[in-house]
Amino acid sequence: MCSTAAVVSAAAEQGGVTPITDIHTDVIRTHILNRLDGPTLAATSCASLQLLSLCNEDYLWKDICNSTWPSTTDPAVGEAISAFPSGHRSFYSDSFSCLARQTSGETASYGGQAPETAELISAVDIYYDGELVYSKVVGTETLSLWYLGSPFRIDLMEPKETVATPLMFDGDEGACMGLAEERLRVSWILIDPSKGRAVNVASLKAVEARRHWLTEDIHLRYATVVDGGCGEAVQFAVVVTCGGKEGRELQVREVSMQAEDLEGKILTGLDTLETLDAAMAGPRRRCDGETEKEMYRKFLNMKIQSRERNQKREKSLDMVFITAGVSILLAIWMFFLSR
Alpha-carbon Rg for the chain, nearest whole angstrom, is 27
- Name which of 25-39, 40-54, 111-125 the model is least confident about: 111-125
Nearest Cα to Cα of residue 126 among 257, 232, 5: 257
Q: Is the pLDDT of residue 272 over 60?
A: yes
Tell me, what's the pLDDT at 315? 81
Helix axes 88-96 and 58-68, enclosed angle (nearest 10):
40
pLDDT band at 339 (very low <50, low <70, confident <90, very high): low
| Averaged pLDDT, 269-283 | 90
Contact (CB, 8 A) for 292 and 235: no
- Is pLDDT of 108 > 60? no
Question: Quick one: pLDDT at residue 21?
Answer: 66
> Residue 27: pLDDT above 80?
yes
pLDDT for position 103:
60
**Is residue 38 predicted with pLDDT exceeding 50?**
yes
Higher pLDDT, 172 or 205: 205
CB 227 within 8 A of CB 100: no
Beta carbons of 271 and 110 less than 8 angstroms apart: no
Cross-strand pairs, 185: 127
Output the pLDDT for position 114.
53
Higher pLDDT, 173 or 1: 173
pLDDT band at 17 (very low <50, low <70, confident <90, very high): low
Residue type, 137: V
The pLDDT confidence band at residue 43, using thresholds 50, 70 and 90, is very high
Mean pLDDT of 58-76: 96
Cα 72 to chain centroid distance, Å, stands at 15
- pLDDT category, 12, cuts 50, 70, 90? very low
What average pLDDT score do residues 9-15 get? 48
Query: What residue type is assigned to position 209 of the chain?
Result: A
pLDDT: which is higher, 179 or 107: 179
DSSP 160: T
Check pLDDT > 90 for residue 336: no
Under the banding of pLDDT at 50, 70 and 90, the label for residue 136 is very high
